[in-house]
Amino acid sequence: MSTLFEPLTLRSLTIPNRIWMAAMCQYSAAPDGDRTGVPNDWHFTHLAARATGGAGLIITEATAVSPEGRISPYDLGIWNDAQAEGFRRITAFLKSQGTVPGIQLAHAGRKASTERTWVDRGAPIAPSEEHGWTPVGPSAAPFGPASTTPEELSDEAISRIVEDFADAARRALDAGFQVAEIHGAHGYLIHQFLSPHSNQRTDAYGGDFAGRIRFALEVVEAVRAVWPADLPVFFRVSATDWLQETGDADREGWTADETVRLAKELRARGVDLLDVSTGGNVPDAKIPVGPDYQVPYASRVRAEADMPVAAVGLITEPDQAQAILASEKADAVLLGRVLLRDPYWPRHAATALGGTMPTPVQYHRA
């Protein structure tokens, strides 16, 4: 049987196959009122379709731990009980299909207060505009020329955000999620602290490697403390800012070497799997996008940090995904846009590769 269709056990949780759905923002929640950030029928239908399609694990879109932590006003959140309640119908259905429900806990930091991607290409929303607010970050350094300058976080504010992550994890557990993924990638708040490109602090949360990873480790420790010992915690990382690799030696950024060092620290604090992506923190970075372009970073973490990893990025063909696992470059694949195009990709892959997976009883006549 193809490795893609073998189960993977992390702590006491067994995920039925290695084809997982990555977090992808839908920008479809209410931006204000008592339904702010609450999942609705779109979110249910979107995620439920991928469960019936055979994904072994589904990770929700970046789900904000506080209102100001949203990327856009239309993001999902889990900072209140109404939002947690809204997720229960989704997690229950995913479980009924044999799919493990996971949640990505996130804070956008300086990349917050933006439009939906299909409106002015996700342009920043100024604090003075409707639904806008002032972003926060490790330093008062905007993401790009058109971005709002963020407010530099005080030590007290950093501590509150750490608590927000822990509170969100508690609500996520109550809502029925079985995997908590901490979003430390793609130029959002945790990544902003990690990278010297965006972290210009000279206090205990900046400067050297130990200072820049401090916030990430505090968030992990806070989430792990409230998450059950028998359920896994993931961490999504951007393995590189793509500065050194593309010859941009004049600017300092987060590197693959630092990712391996961070992975060892995360593993020691109870992180069970690293979800390895790249980029997102430097808007003009030159990224050599192509099939498997991020897989070597996952493979390196797996080998050098002795840690399970998931590979992502332009993985579109069943044979391609199977080759990644068969060559032990990753333990699972996280698929994104290909699952938007084809919710039944896992079932089609099973047919192509001779794998097997359960079929909903309603479809047995097919």
Residue pLDDT, tens place only, 82-103 = 999 999 999 999 999 999 999 9
pLDDT value, residue 246: 83
Q: Which residues are 333's β-sheet partners? A: 19, 311
- Residue-wise pLDDT for 300-319, tens only, equals 999 999 999 999 999 999 99
pLDDT tens digit sequence for 58-85: 999 999 999 999 999 999 999 999 999 9
- pLDDT on residue 9: 98
C-alpha to C-alpha distances, 319 to 227, 254, 274, 351, nearest whole angstrom: 36, 32, 23, 12
Specify the pLDDT at position 338: 98
> Between vectors from CA 19 to CA 16 and to CA 22, what angle results, nearest 5°?
120
Pair 291, 328: CB distance under 8 Å: no
What average pLDDT does range 168-181 have in this prediction? 99
Which domains occur in the chain, in start order?
Answer: 3-357 (3.20.20.70)
Percent of the chain with pLDDT over 90: 95
H-run or E-run covering 9: strand 8-10
Identify the pLDDT of residue 144. 93
Residue the block writes with tokens 């893609």: 4
pLDDT digits (tens, 9 = 90+) for 197-246: 999 999 999 999 999 999 999 999 999 999 999 999 999 999 999 998 88
For residue 166, the model assigns a pLDDT of: 99
Residue 361 CB contacts under 8 Å (≥ 6 apart), including other chains: none
Chain centre to alpha carbon of residue 212: 20
Average pLDDT over residues 151-176: 98
Q: With bands split at pLDDT 50, 70 and 90, how would you rate the model's confidence at 1?
A: low
DSSP string covering 214-281: HHHHHHHHHHHHHS-TTS-EEEEEE---SSTTTT-TTS----HHHHHHHHHHHHHTT--EEEEE---S
Q: Which residue in 27, 188, 205, 297 is the catalytic one?
A: 188
Answer yes or no: 344 catalytic. no
Tell me the average pLDDT of the chain.
Answer: 97
Q: Is the pLDDT of residue 275 over 90?
A: yes
